[in-house]
Amino acid sequence: MSSSDSPVALVTGSAKRLGKQIICKLHQAGYRVIIHYHQSATDANSLADSLNGQRPDSAATLQANLLDNQQVEQLASQAQACFNRLDVLVNNASSFYPTPLGSATLDNWDDLFGSNVKAPYFLSKALAPALAARNGCIINMVDIHAQQPLQDHSIYCMAKAALLMMTKSLARELAPTIRVNGIAPGAILWPSQQLAEADKAAILQQIPLQRTGTPEDIANTVLFLLQSPYISGQIIAVDGGRSLGAAQKA
């Protein structure tokens, strides 16, 4: 397959962390990639330069604030113009932080629902015609806490629950031309906010495999879903068994 024929993937929030690993995995698999970022221009451009060094004209960067409706529309248009096709949309960008009920604000609500639900929905809407033309895929980064609430993170959990339902709803609505699936990571990377060692140990106790996962685990699952043409409307938990709940002692 020539470079001009290779499929194209847009991954939101992909300059760093999980998004970067997904970009690298898809690029390794022969995809041309579009690295979306908000404020991480240096990281995004460095990643694109590295990938273009491996394979010329195979990576591009696009900046957008996903909380700005107009910029979401512009991102959709620019993404289609990058390589004149789009095969995959990975809605990865996400805000995450605690919002205890007593101190939660409307700004928290707008940020968490905006990044985790609204932007993925309207980006999917804007890109659906281009994806349908390629029998493409949408993959949404959900969370195991979409179904099992995380203490003091009610708004985030509600937003991810909405994203889970969006995944299933769009899988039905966009069939048969577009497949839509979700991935629900467990403990993969510790949050940007510092966690005490005791808190980390408590989380590990909840995981049957007794260890955290890696960004590679998530990227491999993205690639698996892209290569599985009869899977749609599914949420795959990549969590070491954590969503099974606590083990019951006899």
Quick: pLDDT tens for 103-118. 999 999 999 999 999 9
Lowest mean pLDDT among 52-66, 121-135, 151-165, 198-212: 198-212
What are the residue boundaries of the structural domains of the chain, listed by start? Answer: 3-241
CB neighbour class for 205 (10 Å; exposed up to 12, middle 13-18, buried from 19): exposed
Q: What is the C-alpha to C-alpha distance for residues 211 and 59, in angstroms, rounded to an integer?
A: 33
Identify the pLDDT of residue 198. Answer: 83
Specify whether 156 is catalytic. yes
Active-site entry in 31, 37, 121, 156: 156
pLDDT above 90 for 232: yes
Q: What is the C-alpha to C-alpha distance for residues 169 and 11, in angstroms, rounded to an integer?
A: 21
Q: Encoding tokens for residue 16?
A: 């760093």
Q: What is the C-alpha to C-alpha distance for residues 240 and 211, in angstroms, rounded to an integer?
A: 8
Q: How far is CA 7 from CA 56, 86, 178, 228, 250, in A?
A: 15, 7, 15, 15, 52
For domain 3-241, the CATH class is alpha beta
Quick: pLDDT tens for 28-75. 999 999 999 999 999 999 999 999 999 999 999 999 999 999 999 999
Q: In what order do the strands lie in the sheet with 8-11?
A: 59-63, 32-37, 8-11, 88-91, 137-141, 179-185, 235-238
Give the E-state strand segments of the chain in sequence order. 8-11, 32-37, 59-63, 88-91, 137-141, 179-185, 235-238
Q: What is the C-alpha to C-alpha distance for residues 181 and 168, in angstroms, rounded to an integer?
A: 7
